[in-house]
């Protein structure tokens, strides 16, 4: 049976609420999107494309900006990304790029 995902309107959201959801608060540091694909994308972005893992120890307590800390928590908390996957990527990073105090804190 075909069971389409219900629309926001059918779930009782008002047009104003839907506009808010479609345009997240600009004060947010990331546009968090759910799901495994988005979680893996964040891991790839943080570790590989932005090469932030090597500086994690120095930046981990920063609050403003997408690359202060990992921001993996939402995906970890909901089971979209496993700790094992992050550990494997961090270990691979250590083998391919650099192993230091920052990578130790992630692994």
Residues 43 and 50: their CA atoms lie apart, in Å, by 10
Q: What is the pLDDT of residue 26?
A: 79
**Helices and strands, counts by H and E, the chain:** 6, 0
pLDDT band per the 50, 70, 90 thresholds, residue 44 = very high
Percent of the chain with pLDDT over 70: 99
Residues 84 and 88: their CA atoms lie apart, in Å, by 6
Angle of the 36-43 helix axis to the 83-96 helix axis, nearest 10? 30
pLDDT over 80 (residue 24): no
Q: What is the pTM of this model?
A: 0.79
Looking at per-residue pLDDT, the higher value among 62 and 56 belongs to 56
Length of the chain equals: 107
pLDDT over 70 (residue 94): yes
Q: What is the pLDDT of residue 1?
A: 62
Residues 43 and 26: their CA atoms lie apart, in Å, by 22
The per-residue pLDDT of the chain, averaged, comes to 92
**Strands in 22-95 per DSSP E:** none
pLDDT over 90 (residue 63): no
Within 8 A by CB and 6+ apart from 76, the residues are 39, 82, 83, 86
């Amino acid at each position: 049976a075909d069971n389409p995902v219900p629309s926001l309107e059918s779930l009782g959201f008002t047009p104003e609420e839907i506009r808010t959801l479609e345009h997240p608060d600009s004060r947010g540091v990331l546009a968090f999107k759910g799901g495994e694909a988005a979680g893996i994308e964040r891991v790839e972005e943080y570790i590989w494309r932005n090469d932030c893992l090597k500086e994690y120890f120095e930046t981990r307590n920063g609050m403003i900006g997408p690359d202060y800390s990992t921001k993996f928590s939402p995906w970890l908390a909901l089971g979209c990304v496993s700790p094992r996957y992050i550990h494997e990527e961090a270990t691979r990073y250590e083998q391919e790029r650099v192993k230091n105090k920052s990578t130790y804190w992630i692994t």
